[in-house]
Amino acid sequence: MKQYKPYVEKLAIFGCYAIAVVYFMVGLVALLSFLGQTSNGADEESIMGMILEIPLGEVLVGIVILGMLGYIVWRVFEAFADPYNFGGDLMGISRRTGIALSAVGYLIIAFAAGQALLEGGGNGDEDQQQMIAQVLEWPAGQWLVAIAGAITGFAGLVQFKYVIGGDYIKRIDFHNMPPWLDKTTHILGWAGYFARGIILLVIAYFLLHAGIAEEPQAMGDTDEAFDFMGDFGVIGHIVFIAVALGTMGYGVFMVIHGYFYSFKSEK
């Protein structure tokens, strides 16, 4: 068994906690919005804007960004260094590629948090549409946006594969958990990763639509993704609530993940 240096481990653990804060708040705001209890947007930039309004908000947002970037670095390191011994065969490379692509979702959040910090809040939906409009003006910009959509969609599908394949189990020390927390962690993990996957797939649809139709207004953020789910009547409302609860669950899961993070690889 191999164990990584403490500072590398702390980087990943710190990232888990930062991610937990953002996802739990996004899910909570989405649920409160659905219940008519708040008018705040359930997107990452709006969440960062809310944090900016509290004392030392800029410091807290900066900490979240650093945590996100730290976790992204760790995930890329996992893909290349293969600490969990997925291997170099076709299946192993596929799984390691999925690990690297899983950083896409976290990168989206880190980017939104950075925008909020620089702009003192802002409107995530409008900012993304402006960015897409600029990219569409580039040579082959339409293709670049569509490719970004395809990558985001694949990253969404990877979330399903990640949890169904049990890859998350290798990263958590279940042996030192009480039985009730063991079961709870699995439930939260499945709910959380499926919620992440659904949100990423909807955002991928926005990107593909914006690129193919050359309509930057078709782009939307996480808040728009929740609205999109809610547009399909009763079924849409059920999906909306399930994804909101799953997103909150993912936040709790990441706290447990960080506390019981296993950095030991198999021989």
Q: Using an 8 Å Cβ cutoff, are 219 and 128 in contact? A: yes
pLDDT band, very low/low/confident/very high, at 228 (cuts 50, 70, 90): very high
Give the pLDDT score at 248.
96
Q: How far apart are CA 128 and CA 138, in angstroms?
A: 16
Interval 149-164 mean pLDDT:
89
What's the rounded Cα separation, in Å, for the pair 185 and 177? 10
H-helix segments, the chain: 6-34, 44-52, 57-81, 90-119, 124-136, 141-164, 179-213, 222-230, 233-259
Residue 40, SS3?
coil
Q: Rounded CA gap, 87 and 175, in Å?
A: 24
Q: Which residue has the higher pLDDT, 146 or 5?
A: 146
- Say if residue 211's pLDDT is above 70: yes
**pLDDT at residue 257 tops 90:** yes
CA–CA separation, 206 and 128 (whole Å): 11
Residue 266 has pLDDT above 50, yes or no: no
Query: If you average pLDDT over each of 11-25, 212-226, 244-258, which comes out highest?
Result: 244-258
- Counting Cα atoms < 13 Å in the Cβ hemisphere of 244 gives 25
Q: Which of 23-32, 65-74, 115-124 has the highest mean pLDDT?
A: 23-32
Q: Quick one: 149 exposed, middle or buried, by C-beta within 10 A (0-12, 13-18, 19+)?
A: buried
1-47 tens-digit pLDDT: 455 566 677 888 888 998 898 889 889 988 988 888 877 766 777 77
pTM of the model: 0.85
SS (H, E, C) 146-196: HHHHHHHHHHHHHHHHHHHCCHHHHHECHHHCCHHHHHHHHHHHHHHHHHH
Q: Which of 262, 109, 72 is nearest to 171 (CA)?
A: 262
**pLDDT, mean of residues 233-241:** 93
